[in-house]
Amino acid sequence: MSNILLQMENMTKQFPGVKALNNVSLSVKSGTVHALMGENGAGKSTLMKCLFGIYRHDQGKIILDGQEINFKNSKEALENGVAMVHQELNQALSRSVMDNLWIGRYPTYKGLMVNQKEMYQKSKELFDLIGVDIDPKRIMSTMPVSQRQMVEIAKAVSYNSKIIVFDEPTSSLTEKEVERLFKIINMLKEKGCGIIYISHKMEEILKISDEITIMRDGGWVSTKSSQDITMDEIIKLMVGRELTNRFPEKTNIPSDVILEVSNMSGKYTKLIDATFNLRKGEILGISGLDGSGRTELVENLFGYMTKSTGSIKLKGEEIFNKTPKEAIKNGFALITEERRATGIFGILSIRENTVISNLKKYKKAKISLDNKKMKADTDWAIKAMKIKTPNQQTKIKTLSGGNQQKVILGRWLLTKPDVLLLDEPTRGIDVGAKFEIYQLIMELAKEGKGVIMISSEMPELLGVCDRILVMSGGRVAGEVNAKTTTQEEILTLASKYV
- Summarised one tens digit per residue, pLDDT across range 120-143 is 999 999 999 988 899 999 999 998
Would you state the pLDDT for residue 243?
60
Q: What pLDDT digit, counting tens, does each position of 283-293 carry?
A: 999 999 878 89
Q: What is the mean pLDDT of residues 49-53?
A: 94
What SS3 string covers the chain?
CCCEEEEEEEEEEEECCEEEEEEEEEEEECCCEEEEECCCCCCHHHHHHHHCCCCCCCEEEEEECCEEECCCCHHHHHHCCEEEECCCCCCCCCCEHHHHHHCCCCCEECCCEECHHHHHHHHHHHHHHHCCCCCCCCEHHHCCHHHHHHHHHHHHHHCCCCEEEEECCCCCCCHHHHHHHHHHHHHHHHCCCEEEEECCCHHHHHHHCCEEEEEECCEEEEEEEHHHCCHHHHHHHHHCCCCCCCCCCCCCCCCCEEEEEEEEEECCCCCCCEEEEEECCCEEEEEECCCCCHHHHHHHHCCCCCEEEEEEEECCEEECCCCHHHHHHCCEEEECCCHHHHCCCCCCEHHHHHHHHHHHHHEECCCEECHHHHHHHHHHHHHHHCCCCCCCCCEHHHCCHHHHHHHHHHHHHCCCCCEEEEECCCCCCCHHHHHHHHHHHHHHHHCCCEEEEECCCHHHHHHHCCEEEEEECCEEEEEEECCCCCHHHHHHHHCCCC
User: Range with the lowest mean pLDDT among 34-43, 166-175, 371-380, 476-485?
Assistant: 166-175
As a whole number of angstroms, the distance between CA 321 and CA 210 comes to: 50
- Half-sphere exposure of residue 494, counting CA atoms within 13 Å on the CB side? 19
Q: Residue 349 carries which side chain, given as an amino acid letter?
A: S
More confident residue, 35 or 397: 35
- Residue 444 CA, distance from chain mean position: 22
As a whole number of angstroms, the distance between CA 452 and CA 442 comes to: 12
Beta bridge partners of 12: 59
Would you state the pLDDT for residue 445?
94
As a whole number of angstroms, the distance between CA 211 and CA 189 comes to: 13
Beta bridge partners of 213: 36, 223
Closest to 398 in 3D by CA, of 7, 9, 155, 49: 49
pLDDT-above-70 percentage for the chain = 99
Contact 385, 436 (CB under 8 A): yes
Q: What is the mean pLDDT of residues 39-65?
A: 91
Contact 163, 63 (CB under 8 A): no
pTM, two decimals, is 0.68
Would you state the pLDDT for residue 1?
38
pLDDT-above-90 percentage for the chain = 62
- Half-sphere exposure of residue 335, counting CA atoms within 13 Å on the CB side? 28
Would you state the pLDDT for residue 278?
98
